[in-house]
Structure 1
Amino acid sequence: MPVTKVKGRKKSIKSLADTLKERIIDPENQVIAISHGDCEEDARLLEKLIKENVKVKDVIINYVGPVVGSHSGPGTIALFFFSKDRGDN
């Protein structure tokens, strides 16, 4: 389900970082995970944006698994963190 629409790769990565900043709970105690499909440079950019704007415990970057990767393809980027309720039940 789309949360927002953004045009362009860099803007979409910034949007992910902004969403984390708005919705994260207890960031100082969270380890954030970023998964990517052969786009480590974009994952590192997302990590940088997060660390510049939010004090988190740590950020882990890893490849998406083969099952997810076979469906999503190269260029996939995913961000994992505990957040506030979206309120769209």
Structure 2
Amino acid sequence: MSKCSVQTVWILQSDGADVPTRDREFEDRIVPSVRALPGFVQGVWARSTDGQRSYNTMVFEDRHSADALIAQIETNKARSAAAGVRLESLQILDVIVYA
């Protein structure tokens, strides 16, 4: 079985959003919950320099583990939207190599 990555792009709304609280929630709850998923290998969470988008890549041991993240994202869509974060794109990709 090959490793899989989940790549997401999120739109970060700033109008009416409590950005400091959203950032704390991200660091204190979201990243640790992704790292705790079975099969998690590594992740990179990056934000555009204008603060409008978040680009994320998380690598998992297999497709089943990647699907667990997809389920977590789906479950939390309403909570994300309430925090001013909207999913723009999501892809599952086969990992060829990583370093």
| TM-score, normalising length: structure 2 | 0.33
Structure with more of its chain in strand, by fraction: 2
Instruction: Determine which structure has greater relative contact order: mean sequence separation of CA pairs < 8 Å that are 6+ residues apart, divided by chain length.
Output: 2
- What TM-score results when the alignment is normalised by the length of structure 1? 0.35
